[in-house]
Amino acid sequence: MNSYDLSALLIVILPILSFTVLGLFGNRFSNRTSGLIGCASLVTTAILALYVAAGYFFDFGLVNGEHVKHIALQFQWLKFTDSLSIDLGIVLDPISVMMLLVITIVSSMVHIYSLGYMKGEDYFERYYAYLSLFSFSMLGLVVAVNIFQMYIFWELVGVSSFLLIGFYFTKPSAIAAAKKAFIVTRFADLGFLIGILMLSYNTKSLDFFTIIDRLTQVGSPYLANFTATSFMGMSALSWALLLVFMGGAGKSAMFPLHIWLPDAMEGPTPVSALIHAATMVVAGVFLVARLFPVFAISAPDALLIIAYIGAFTALFAAVIACTQTDIKRVLAYSTISQIAYMMFALGVAGWGEGKMEGFTASMFHLFTHAFFKALLFLGAGAVIHAVHTNEMEGMGGLRKSLPITHFTFLIACLAIAGVPPFAGFFSKEAILSSALQTQPLIFYVGLFTSGLTAFYMFRLYFRIFWYNPVPEHSHNHETHTWAMNIPLIILGVGAAFAGLIPFGSFVSADGKALELPFHLTFSIAPVAVGLIGIGIAYLLYGKKNEIPDKIASAVSGFYQAAYHKFYIDEIYLFITKKVLFNLVGRPAAWFDRTVVNGLFINGSAETAVATSNAIKPMQSGRLQSYTMFFLGGVLLLAALLIIKFM
Amino acid sequence: MEQVPLSHILILSSTLFFLGVYGFFSRRNLITMLMSVELILNSVNINFIAFNKYLFPHQLEGIFFTMFIIVVAAAEVSISIAIIINLYRRFKTIDIEDTTTMKY
């Protein structure tokens, strides 16, 4: 085990160590100590991740100019048959190393930021324990060697996000949001599990790379078997992969499983930055990327469905984001929209020379998005910390009182709007150009969405920092400590410059370096659309005026529908409460009460009581009646013996 | 010398046995019931001796069994008496009809 492997192991182990320490002994430490323990562990992992990434991308991972996968650790954990076993381990390949970087950096920033943001909150040490648990699960997920290992950590991620969303457990809305997030993602994970079972049944393996090998090689008997059966025009393999994608869609909040993410904003804001912007919600994208060769080579039809779901979700969420007034909800819908961008970028990609650009573009956007979206959430947290409300109504004109927040927030908005030379520009260009090559329809949807993105982000920006005149004697001073400002600045640097990384030479579907095409003529359209969006936002929200209300009332039907999130929640409630409850819940309850409880449980108890009452008088306490039975028995036996042997 | 036939001895022992059973069921006094049990045991002893003497005169198993039964019966009596004394201390009676508290 060389130093890189050891570091990779430590990256996964350190957070679970700090979780254990804080979880068991946290209440004996002062808040400051427990916060520092959490920060120290995560900052160390971030440094180790940088070390491993440098080693992987430039040294040991590079073989003949290609990035190959490297198994740092693997051991058998649970063995079913000779070929089928659940292994635990750590695999280093371009996407997992990239994810290690993103997760540890954002997580350590959030840990540091929380020192300031959560100061004085109750259960401070528990908060840090949960954050560490979450980081551990997420890191374990991305380095998984085995699809079942991924599933285990996938569920751990779900649990820790449940704990974090419901952190303010005295607020009923937070509890409801936590439950909703857990149930929706858990429901989606059912599909994931069935998909895993189908894949492992047909390939006789749970190992990621064995599955990929067996399902991509031409003439592989496993592949032939798997695709032989078909259902509704798609092969069994496509269905299995779509079921796996269902799990990913649940975590990544793809339509129609997106409903949990906006409500999850009930959690503390740094948690939203960590979980619902940079790490957990990209788990679905990561899952599709992990199985990308199978999708691209053997099931392009499933990949096409993913592309269309992604494109639709991107547009759908962007429209809703334009109408929301809670700043965190705007960011939540923006996240859904951006994750959907990554999803359809994967969907439009294919396998073969010149078609794999979408894969790299998707991972690139994942990388840059992590920086600017985490920054946006942390900035929104700083604003909320200062004005004590989530609603836009209480904001406006904050640019003087929150200068650092204002500046970094602006960088993030420019980055997400795709203005050059900020990070989002490069990744978004790559996505759009790969979409244009294969699916022009998706390209136009993506282009329009990108304009909407610029609009709603700058609506948010102007609404927070301009709109109202700067108050003369503001009491909203930037009282934030270094703990809150330093992460903003570091992430701001990332959001500004992360796009300049030649990402294609590090991460690609087959490990070979890939030059992301960059055409000046191509990028005119997206940038122009973005700038138009910003311009409209300035006209409408640069200063307080009547135009937005007029526009809203002019298209009031559509506006109301978008404001109410197109009534998706109501549809879900209707389906679950009215349809499922009446058709399934009530009969099941009746069956439970009368048959299971009435007939089986109470019935057997009553039978026992009746029998006992019937034979109880035999136990009379009279010696001579016992003897009578005894004598009767002896005589009977004697009679039997006599009959038998006479 | 004319021997007493075996059937006579068996009639004696069955008479004793059924006297004992009758006594056990009809008496209410625990001591009397204990005596009835002794009658039953002794009827068995007579059977053993008789069969040993008449069927296998050169062997001693029946006699040994009888010895054992006598010893065991002696032990049993001592325990029974102890139980009866305890019963008496508790209920101030040894009438079997009055000591029926040990039931369901």
Residue-wise pLDDT tens digits, A257-279? 888 888 888 888 888 888 877 78
Q: What residues of B are in contact with residue A617 (Cβ under 8 Å)?
A: 104
Rounded percentage of chain A residues whose pLDDT exceeds 90: 10
pLDDT tens digits along A506-546 = 887 777 777 766 666 777 888 888 888 888 888 887 777 77
CATH number of B6-91: 1.10.287.3510
pLDDT tens digits along A139-165 = 999 998 888 899 999 999 999 989 988
- What is the nearest CA distance from B35 to chain A, expressed in angstroms? 15
- CA A138/CA A23 separation, integer angstroms: 18
- What is the nearest CA distance from B104 to chain A, expressed in angstroms? 6
Nearest by CB: A619 against B21, B25, B104: B104
pLDDT reported for residue A474 = 54
Mean pLDDT of A478-499: 79
> A92 pairs with which residues across the strands?
A70
The chain B residue lying nearest A617, using CA atoms, is B104
Residues shown for chain A? 646
- CA A224/CA A98 separation, integer angstroms: 34
The chain A residue lying nearest B23, using CA atoms, is A624
- Kindly list the residues of chain A whose beta carbon comes within 8 Å of any beta carbon in chain B: 616-617, 619-624, 627-628, 631
pLDDT reported for residue A125 = 85
Among A386-390, A612-616, B94-98, where is mean pLDDT lowest? A386-390
Mean pLDDT of A282-310: 88
Mean pLDDT of chain A: 84
Nearest by CB: B103 against A620, A627, A628: A620
pTM here is 0.78
The answer to whether A139 and A15 have CB atoms below 8 angstroms apart is yes
Q: Check CB contact of B95 with chain A, cutoff 8 Å.
A: no
Nearest by CB: A621 against B24, B25, B101: B101
Nearest by CB: A627 against B24, B102, B104: B24
| Interface contact flag, A621 B96, Cβ < 8 Å | no
Please, which residues have CB within 8 angstroms of residue A99's CB and are 6 or more apart in sequence?
A142, A282, A286
Res A473 pLDDT > 70: no
pLDDT reported for residue B69 = 94
- Which DSSP state fits B57? T
Q: Check CB contact of B29 with chain A, cutoff 8 Å.
A: no
The chain A residue lying nearest B33, using CA atoms, is A624
pLDDT reported for residue A382 = 85
The chain A residue lying nearest B28, using CA atoms, is A624
Res A554 pLDDT > 80: no
Q: Check CB contact of B21 with chain A, cutoff 8 Å.
A: yes
Among A247-251, A522-526, A583-587, B81-85, where is mean pLDDT lowest? A522-526
pLDDT reported for residue A602 = 92
Computed from CA positions of residues A586, A588, A589, A594, in that sequence, does the dihedral angle turn out positive or negative? positive
pLDDT reported for residue A75 = 85
Res A349 pLDDT > 80: yes
| Interface contact flag, A624 B24, Cβ < 8 Å | yes
Max mean pLDDT among A228-232, A505-509, A598-602 falls in A598-602
The residue whose two tokens read 């997206």 is A526
Helical ranges in B2-60 per DSSP H: 6-26, 30-55
For A485, the 3-state DSSP assignment is: helix
The chain B residue lying nearest A628, using CA atoms, is B25
- CA A43/CA A234 separation, integer angstroms: 47
Q: What residues of B are in contact with residue A629 (Cβ under 8 Å)?
A: none
| Interface contact flag, B24 A621, Cβ < 8 Å | no
| Interface contact flag, A624 B25, Cβ < 8 Å | yes
Mean pLDDT of B12-41: 92
For residue A499, count other CB atoms closer than 10 A to its CB: 27
Higher-confidence residue of A471 and A254: namely: A254
| Interface contact flag, B96 A622, Cβ < 8 Å | yes
Q: Are strands A85-92 and A62-63 parallel, antiparallel or unpaired?
A: unpaired
Pairs across A and B, CB distance < 8 A:
22
Distance of CA A211 to the CA centre of its chain: 23
The answer to whether A110 and A45 have CB atoms below 8 angstroms apart is no
Among A242-246, A479-483, A574-578, A638-642, where is mean pLDDT lowest? A479-483
